[in-house]
C-alpha cells in the first residue's frame, strides 16, 4: 500500500473510533493489560458508602421504566434485564461501569450519564430496586437440557453466584435466580467472547471452555431457580 493510502486508512479508522466515543465512552476493560474487574475507585467507593434513600430512588427510576418496566421486571424479548431485588452493590457497580464505558451499553448510556442522572441518585435507585419484590414471571429457557445445566452450574458457577442463585452483594456477584433466560444466555456468551468487558477474569476462564449448548443449558437452569428476595 502507498504511504498516502496507509495514512488515509489510519485516519479513517481514527475517525470511526472518535465517532464511537462520542456516542458512548470507552474505558479500559478485560482486553487491557493489568485489568482488575473490581478495582476500587473513588466514585464507586463513595457511592457504596452513601446513605441511600429509596423514596428518592423511586422518583429517579421513572426515567428507566420505559425499558426496565415499572416493576423492574425487565423485557425479556428485548434483552432488558430484571432489576428487582438485585443486590445494591451489583446495581451500583453496573450503573457506574456503564456510565464510564467499561461495560458497553449504547442504548442505555444516554440515561445513565451524569447529565441525565446525578451521581448521588445512583445509590438511591439501587436501594429502591433492591427493595422491590422479585417477580417469578421471568422468561425461562426451553427446558430441554436441565440436568446438564444443573451439573455445570453446581460445578462451575454456584461458588460465586450461590447454590440457589442468590449472588453475593459484598463481592459484586450478581443474583442470577429467576433472571430472564435470553439475558442470561447473551451475557454468558458476551463474557465468554470478551464482549462484556467488565467481567471477572476467573469466570471468563471457566466460560471459555463452554460450547453454545453448555451456555444455553446453564442459562436455562439459572432462569428456573426460584426467586430469592
Residue ranges that bind ligand HEC, judged by CB under 6 A: 37, 63-64, 66-68, 79-81, 83, 86, 91, 93-95, 105, 107-108, 111-112, 117, 125, 152, 156-157, 159-161, 172-174, 176, 184, 187-188, 198-200, 202-203, 206-207, 218
Q: How far apart are CA 219 and CA 224, in angstroms?
A: 9
For the bound state, the minimum distance from the C-beta of residue 49 to ligand HEC, rounded and expressed in Å, comes to 18
The nearer residue to ligand HEC, 9 or 151, going by C-beta atoms, is: 151
Nearest to 149 by CA among 199, 77, 79, 224: 224
For the bound state, the minimum distance from the C-beta of residue 64 to ligand HEC, rounded and expressed in Å, comes to 3
Nearest to 104 by CA among 2, 195, 185: 195
For the bound state, the minimum distance from the C-beta of residue 226 to ligand HEC, rounded and expressed in Å, comes to 17
Cell digits for 61?
427510576
The nearer residue to ligand HEC, 10 or 219, going by C-beta atoms, is: 219
**Do 72 and 132 contact (CB within 8 A), yes or no?**
yes
Q: Which residue has the cell 467472547?
A: 193
**Do 102 and 27 contact (CB within 8 A), yes or no?**
yes
The nearer residue to ligand HEC, 48 or 95, going by C-beta atoms, is: 95
Cell digits for 186?
447473551
**Do 126 and 91 contact (CB within 8 A), yes or no?**
yes
For the bound state, the minimum distance from the C-beta of residue 27 to ligand HEC, rounded and expressed in Å, comes to 13
The nearer residue to ligand HEC, 15 or 143, going by C-beta atoms, is: 143
Amino acid at each position: 500500500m502507498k504511504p498516502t493510502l496507509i495514512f488515509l486508512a489510519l485516519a479513517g479508522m481514527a475517525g470511526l473510533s472518535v465517532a464511537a466515543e462520542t456516542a458512548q465512552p470507552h474505558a479500559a476493560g478485560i482486553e487491557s493489560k493489568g485489568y482488575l474487574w473490581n478495582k476500587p475507585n473513588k466514585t464507586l467507593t463513595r457511592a457504596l458508602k452513601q446513605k441511600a434513600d429509596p423514596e428518592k430512588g423511586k422518583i429517579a427510576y421513572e426515567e428507566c421504566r420505559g425499558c426496565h418496566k415499572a416493576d423492574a421486571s425487565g423485557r425479556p424479548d428485548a434483552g432488558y434485564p430484571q432489576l428487582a431485588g438485585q443486590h445494591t452493590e451489583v446495581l451500583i457497580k453496573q450503573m457506574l461501569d456503564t456510565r464510564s464505558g467499561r461495560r458497553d451499553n449504547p442504548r442505555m448510556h444516554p440515561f445513565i450519564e451524569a447529565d441525565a442522572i446525578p451521581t448521588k441518585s445512583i445509590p438511591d435507585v439501587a436501594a429502591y430496586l433492591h427493595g422491590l419484590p422479585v417477580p417469578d414471571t421471568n422468561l425461562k429457557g426451553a427446558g430441554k437440557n436441565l440436568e446438564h445445566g444443573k451439573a455445570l452450574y453446581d460445578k462451575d458457577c454456584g461458588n460465586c453466584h450461590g447454590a440457589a442463585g442468590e449472588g453475593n452483594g459484598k463481592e459484586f456477584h450478581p443474583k442470577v435466580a429467576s433472571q430472564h433466560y435470553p439475558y442470561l444466555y447473551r451475557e454468558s456468551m458476551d463474557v465468554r467472547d470478551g464482549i462484556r468487558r467488565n467481567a471477572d477474569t476467573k469466570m471468563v476462564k471457566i466460560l471459555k471452555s463452554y460450547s453454545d449448548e453448555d451456555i444455553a443449558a446453564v442459562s436455562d437452569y439459572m432462569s428456573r431457580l426460584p426467586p430469592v428476595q
